[in-house]
Amino acid sequence: MKNYLKLLPILVIAAAMTVLSSCSFNVSTANISDAKLTKDDAGTQPSTVFGQKDTIYLKVQLANAPDSSVTSAQWIAVDVEGDVPKNHPLQNFDIEHGSGVLTFNLSNDQMWPKGKYRVDISLNGEMKESRDFSVE
């Protein structure tokens, strides 16, 4: 009996290791280290105020991200002129990419209605940040 008691901790550890090795863990340190709205694709003209004919760019700096990371930008008309309902979703764009600078953009064949807008930024399906902007 004493021999079995000596083996018990070893058996418990072996069983725990077997159970844990069959589980799948996804520990990611992927994060958005910076996000800014700009008037140009290069990101040299940061702004939160845009004209009615502008293309609006979002530059997202993704850090510590595996290549399979999915970053999403959900563009929303929060409160704008015309018949657009409040908090109306405009477009959603996804980019699958690892660490680096990602560029999203939103353009319109028509003039943008004046008012308040927002872009929500998600990483792997989890909402991370928002950026408010306006069109004047």
2/93 Cα distance (integer angstroms): 65
59 found inside a domain: yes
112 found inside a domain: yes
Whether 2 has a pLDDT exceeding 90, the answer reads no
18 found inside a domain: no
7 found inside a domain: no
pLDDT at position 30 is: 87
Total count of domains within the chain: 1
14 or 53: which carries more pLDDT confidence?
A: 53
71 found inside a domain: yes
Tokens 């353009």 sit on residue: 107
Q: pTM to 2 decimals?
A: 0.77
13 found inside a domain: no
91/56 Cα distance (integer angstroms): 12
21 found inside a domain: no
In this structure, what CATH number is given to the domain that contains residue 74? 2.60.40.10
The number of CA neighbours under 13 Å toward the Cβ of 131 is: 23
15 found inside a domain: no
21 or 106: which carries more pLDDT confidence?
A: 106
* Span 27-58, pLDDT tens digits: 568 888 899 999 999 999 999 999 999 999 99
pLDDT at position 26 is: 47
